[in-house]
Amino acid sequence: MSSSSWIPLWLHKLGSPPIFYRFAGVVRPWAMALAIITGAIALYGGLVLAPADYQQGDAYRIIFIHVPSAWMSMFIYGVMGIAAFIALVWRIKLAEVVAMESAPIGAAFTFITLVTGSLWGKPMWGTWWTWDARLTSELVLLFLYLGVIGLYHAFEDRRQGARAAAFLAIIGIINVPIVHFSVNWWNTLHQGSTISIFGHSKMSGAMLWPLLLMMLATKFYYIASLFRRVRTDLLSLESGKDWVRQIAQDEARS
Protein backbone atom coordinates (compact mmCIF):
# COMPACT_ATOMS: atom_id res chain seq x y z
CA MET A 1 0.00 0.00 0.00
CA SER A 2 1.43 3.40 -1.01
CA SER A 3 1.83 6.22 1.48
CA SER A 4 -0.64 8.34 -0.50
CA SER A 5 -3.41 5.79 0.08
CA TRP A 6 -2.33 4.89 3.64
CA ILE A 7 -2.54 8.43 5.05
CA PRO A 8 -6.20 9.10 4.08
CA LEU A 9 -7.17 5.66 5.40
CA TRP A 10 -5.37 6.35 8.69
CA LEU A 11 -7.07 9.72 9.02
CA HIS A 12 -10.43 8.19 8.17
CA LYS A 13 -10.02 5.53 10.86
CA LEU A 14 -8.91 8.06 13.46
CA GLY A 15 -12.05 10.07 12.69
CA SER A 16 -14.19 7.16 13.85
CA PRO A 17 -15.59 7.99 17.33
CA PRO A 18 -14.77 4.62 18.96
CA ILE A 19 -11.23 4.55 17.54
CA PHE A 20 -10.56 8.15 18.54
CA TYR A 21 -12.02 7.50 21.99
CA ARG A 22 -9.49 4.71 22.59
CA PHE A 23 -6.64 6.70 20.99
CA ALA A 24 -7.38 9.74 23.15
CA GLY A 25 -7.59 7.57 26.24
CA VAL A 26 -4.04 6.36 25.65
CA VAL A 27 -2.55 9.76 24.75
CA ARG A 28 -4.28 11.95 27.34
CA PRO A 29 -2.43 10.76 30.50
CA TRP A 30 0.94 11.10 28.79
CA ALA A 31 0.08 14.57 27.51
CA MET A 32 -1.00 15.70 30.98
CA ALA A 33 2.13 14.25 32.59
CA LEU A 34 4.32 16.05 30.05
CA ALA A 35 2.37 19.27 30.63
CA ILE A 36 2.98 19.09 34.38
CA ILE A 37 6.68 18.21 34.06
CA THR A 38 7.56 20.75 31.37
CA GLY A 39 5.38 23.41 33.02
CA ALA A 40 7.09 22.95 36.40
CA ILE A 41 10.57 23.13 34.84
CA ALA A 42 9.59 26.21 32.82
CA LEU A 43 8.21 27.99 35.87
CA TYR A 44 11.33 27.23 37.89
CA GLY A 45 13.51 28.43 35.05
CA GLY A 46 11.50 31.60 34.55
CA LEU A 47 10.74 32.55 38.14
CA VAL A 48 13.96 31.40 39.82
CA LEU A 49 16.83 30.85 37.37
CA ALA A 50 16.23 33.64 34.84
CA PRO A 51 17.84 36.97 35.72
CA ALA A 52 15.83 40.12 36.38
CA ASP A 53 15.23 42.38 33.39
CA TYR A 54 17.45 45.47 33.34
CA GLN A 55 14.44 47.77 32.75
CA GLN A 56 11.42 46.00 34.24
CA GLY A 57 13.12 44.17 37.08
CA ASP A 58 11.23 41.11 38.32
CA ALA A 59 7.88 42.43 37.07
CA TYR A 60 8.64 41.03 33.61
CA ARG A 61 8.39 37.44 34.91
CA ILE A 62 4.65 37.45 34.29
CA ILE A 63 5.54 36.89 30.63
CA PHE A 64 6.13 33.20 31.41
CA ILE A 65 2.35 32.94 31.87
CA HIS A 66 1.12 35.83 29.73
CA VAL A 67 2.97 35.15 26.49
CA PRO A 68 2.32 31.36 26.25
CA SER A 69 -1.35 32.00 27.08
CA ALA A 70 -1.53 34.62 24.31
CA TRP A 71 0.04 32.21 21.83
CA MET A 72 -2.42 29.50 22.85
CA SER A 73 -5.41 31.83 22.53
CA MET A 74 -4.58 32.26 18.85
CA PHE A 75 -3.39 28.70 18.24
CA ILE A 76 -6.55 27.13 19.67
CA TYR A 77 -8.78 29.46 17.68
CA GLY A 78 -6.92 28.38 14.55
CA VAL A 79 -7.50 24.70 15.43
CA MET A 80 -11.15 25.44 16.18
CA GLY A 81 -11.60 27.25 12.87
CA ILE A 82 -9.99 24.44 10.85
CA ALA A 83 -12.06 21.78 12.66
CA ALA A 84 -15.21 23.86 12.10
CA PHE A 85 -14.43 24.10 8.38
CA ILE A 86 -13.89 20.33 8.12
CA ALA A 87 -17.13 19.73 10.03
CA LEU A 88 -19.15 21.94 7.69
CA VAL A 89 -17.63 20.70 4.44
CA TRP A 90 -17.30 16.97 5.14
CA ARG A 91 -19.92 16.59 7.94
CA ILE A 92 -17.48 14.78 10.21
CA LYS A 93 -18.92 14.44 13.70
CA LEU A 94 -15.54 14.26 15.41
CA ALA A 95 -14.48 17.55 13.81
CA GLU A 96 -17.61 19.19 15.23
CA VAL A 97 -16.77 17.89 18.68
CA VAL A 98 -13.14 19.05 18.47
CA ALA A 99 -14.22 22.53 17.38
CA MET A 100 -16.85 22.92 20.08
CA GLU A 101 -14.73 21.47 22.88
CA SER A 102 -11.76 23.64 21.90
CA ALA A 103 -13.78 26.81 22.52
CA PRO A 104 -13.90 26.69 26.37
CA ILE A 105 -10.18 25.91 26.57
CA GLY A 106 -9.34 28.73 24.19
CA ALA A 107 -11.60 31.12 26.09
CA ALA A 108 -9.79 30.24 29.33
CA PHE A 109 -6.37 30.95 27.80
CA THR A 110 -7.65 34.23 26.33
CA PHE A 111 -9.05 35.28 29.71
CA ILE A 112 -5.70 34.47 31.37
CA THR A 113 -3.96 36.52 28.68
CA LEU A 114 -6.12 39.56 29.36
CA VAL A 115 -5.83 39.28 33.16
CA THR A 116 -2.05 38.81 33.19
CA GLY A 117 -1.68 41.53 30.60
CA SER A 118 -3.62 43.88 32.85
CA LEU A 119 -1.46 42.94 35.85
CA TRP A 120 1.66 43.55 33.75
CA GLY A 121 0.31 46.77 32.26
CA LYS A 122 -0.33 48.50 35.58
CA PRO A 123 3.33 48.81 36.65
CA MET A 124 4.60 49.20 33.07
CA TRP A 125 2.03 51.61 31.60
CA GLY A 126 0.43 53.00 34.75
CA THR A 127 -3.03 51.68 33.90
CA TRP A 128 -4.93 48.39 34.13
CA TRP A 129 -6.46 48.76 30.68
CA THR A 130 -6.11 50.84 27.55
CA TRP A 131 -7.78 50.46 24.18
CA ASP A 132 -4.54 49.37 22.60
CA ALA A 133 -4.91 47.53 19.27
CA ARG A 134 -3.44 44.30 20.67
CA LEU A 135 -5.58 44.42 23.84
CA THR A 136 -8.75 45.27 21.92
CA SER A 137 -8.30 42.53 19.33
CA GLU A 138 -7.54 40.02 22.10
CA LEU A 139 -10.76 41.07 23.85
CA VAL A 140 -12.63 40.55 20.57
CA LEU A 141 -11.09 37.08 20.46
CA LEU A 142 -12.57 36.32 23.88
CA PHE A 143 -15.98 37.52 22.72
CA LEU A 144 -15.72 35.26 19.66
CA TYR A 145 -14.94 32.26 21.86
CA LEU A 146 -17.89 33.10 24.12
CA GLY A 147 -20.09 33.59 21.06
CA VAL A 148 -19.20 30.14 19.74
CA ILE A 149 -19.93 28.58 23.14
CA GLY A 150 -23.21 30.44 23.52
CA LEU A 151 -24.41 29.68 20.00
CA TYR A 152 -23.56 26.00 20.39
CA HIS A 153 -25.68 25.73 23.52
CA ALA A 154 -28.53 27.88 22.15
CA PHE A 155 -30.02 24.99 20.13
CA GLU A 156 -31.78 21.92 21.47
CA ASP A 157 -30.29 19.90 18.61
CA ARG A 158 -26.59 19.81 19.49
CA ARG A 159 -25.44 19.11 15.94
CA GLN A 160 -27.50 22.00 14.61
CA GLY A 161 -25.96 24.21 17.28
CA ALA A 162 -22.49 22.97 16.34
CA ARG A 163 -23.05 23.85 12.68
CA ALA A 164 -24.27 27.36 13.56
CA ALA A 165 -21.33 27.90 15.92
CA ALA A 166 -18.94 26.56 13.26
CA PHE A 167 -19.97 29.36 10.90
CA LEU A 168 -19.14 31.95 13.57
CA ALA A 169 -15.81 30.23 14.29
CA ILE A 170 -14.84 30.38 10.62
CA ILE A 171 -15.88 34.02 10.22
CA GLY A 172 -14.03 35.00 13.39
CA ILE A 173 -10.76 33.48 12.27
CA ILE A 174 -10.01 36.75 10.49
CA ASN A 175 -9.32 38.23 13.93
CA VAL A 176 -6.39 35.89 14.60
CA PRO A 177 -3.93 37.59 12.20
CA ILE A 178 -5.21 40.96 13.45
CA VAL A 179 -4.20 39.99 17.00
CA HIS A 180 -0.84 38.68 15.83
CA PHE A 181 0.14 41.56 13.54
CA SER A 182 -1.56 44.42 15.41
CA VAL A 183 1.80 45.54 16.86
CA ASN A 184 3.20 45.90 13.34
CA TRP A 185 0.11 47.41 11.73
CA TRP A 186 -0.70 50.05 14.35
CA ASN A 187 1.13 52.22 16.84
CA THR A 188 0.53 50.29 20.08
CA LEU A 189 1.93 50.22 23.59
CA HIS A 190 3.05 46.63 23.07
CA GLN A 191 6.64 46.11 22.06
CA GLY A 192 7.48 44.30 18.85
CA SER A 193 8.33 40.63 18.66
CA THR A 194 11.50 39.67 20.53
CA ILE A 195 11.39 35.97 19.64
CA SER A 196 12.23 34.50 16.26
CA ILE A 197 11.95 30.78 15.60
CA PHE A 198 14.19 30.85 12.55
CA GLY A 199 16.26 33.97 13.17
CA HIS A 200 18.03 35.72 16.02
CA SER A 201 15.92 36.34 19.13
CA LYS A 202 16.39 39.58 21.05
CA MET A 203 15.69 37.85 24.37
CA SER A 204 18.44 36.44 26.55
CA GLY A 205 18.84 32.67 26.34
CA ALA A 206 18.32 32.37 30.10
CA MET A 207 14.88 33.92 29.64
CA LEU A 208 14.09 32.35 26.28
CA TRP A 209 14.29 28.64 27.12
CA PRO A 210 11.76 28.76 30.00
CA LEU A 211 9.37 30.72 27.78
CA LEU A 212 9.63 28.23 24.92
CA LEU A 213 9.31 25.32 27.34
CA MET A 214 6.17 26.85 28.84
CA MET A 215 4.79 27.20 25.33
CA LEU A 216 5.36 23.47 24.88
CA ALA A 217 3.72 22.76 28.25
CA THR A 218 0.59 24.66 27.24
CA LYS A 219 0.39 22.63 24.03
CA PHE A 220 0.53 19.38 26.02
CA TYR A 221 -2.11 20.73 28.40
CA TYR A 222 -4.37 21.64 25.49
CA ILE A 223 -4.09 18.13 24.07
CA ALA A 224 -4.83 16.51 27.43
CA SER A 225 -7.75 18.81 28.21
CA LEU A 226 -9.21 18.58 24.71
CA PHE A 227 -9.00 14.78 24.62
CA ARG A 228 -10.72 14.53 28.01
CA ARG A 229 -13.55 16.80 26.89
CA VAL A 230 -13.90 15.08 23.52
CA ARG A 231 -14.07 11.64 25.11
CA THR A 232 -16.83 12.79 27.46
CA ASP A 233 -18.76 14.45 24.65
CA LEU A 234 -18.47 11.42 22.37
CA LEU A 235 -19.98 9.18 25.04
CA SER A 236 -22.93 11.57 25.27
CA LEU A 237 -23.42 11.94 21.51
CA GLU A 238 -23.02 8.22 20.82
CA SER A 239 -24.92 7.02 23.92
CA GLY A 240 -27.12 4.67 21.93
CA LYS A 241 -24.29 2.98 20.05
CA ASP A 242 -23.00 -0.52 20.78
CA TRP A 243 -19.44 0.62 21.48
CA VAL A 244 -20.63 3.00 24.21
CA ARG A 245 -22.74 0.30 25.83
CA GLN A 246 -19.73 -2.02 25.73
CA ILE A 247 -17.62 0.58 27.53
CA ALA A 248 -20.32 0.99 30.17
CA GLN A 249 -20.47 -2.78 30.66
CA ASP A 250 -16.69 -3.06 30.92
CA GLU A 251 -16.56 -0.28 33.53
CA ALA A 252 -19.39 -1.89 35.49
CA ARG A 253 -17.49 -5.17 35.66
CA SER A 254 -14.19 -3.54 36.66
The per-residue pLDDT for 191 is 61
Distance separating alpha carbons of residues 88 and 86, to the nearest angstrom: 6
Longest alpha-carbon distance in the chain: 63
The per-residue pLDDT for 253 is 82
Beta pairing partners, 53 = 57
The per-residue pLDDT for 69 is 98
| pLDDT category of residue 226 using cuts at 50, 70 and 90 | very high
As a whole number, mean pLDDT of residues 92-117 equals 96
The per-residue pLDDT for 132 is 87
Q: What is the pLDDT of residues 3-53, one digit of tens each?
A: 444 445 656 677 899 999 999 999 999 999 999 999 999 999 999 999 998
| pLDDT category of residue 131 using cuts at 50, 70 and 90 | confident
Q: What is the pLDDT of residues 158-203, one digit of tens each?
A: 999 999 999 999 999 999 999 988 877 776 666 656 665 555 566 8
Radius of gyration of the chain (CA): 20
In the predicted structure, residue 75 carries a pLDDT above the cut 90: yes
DSSP line for 112-135? HHHHHHHHHHHHHHSSS----HHH
As a whole number, mean pLDDT of residues 145-158 equals 96
As a whole number, mean pLDDT of residues 49-73 equals 92
The per-residue pLDDT for 5 is 46
Distance separating alpha carbons of residues 94 and 84, to the nearest angstrom: 10
Distance separating alpha carbons of residues 120 and 191, to the nearest angstrom: 13
Percent of the chain at pLDDT exceeding 70:
89
| pLDDT category of residue 77 using cuts at 50, 70 and 90 | very high
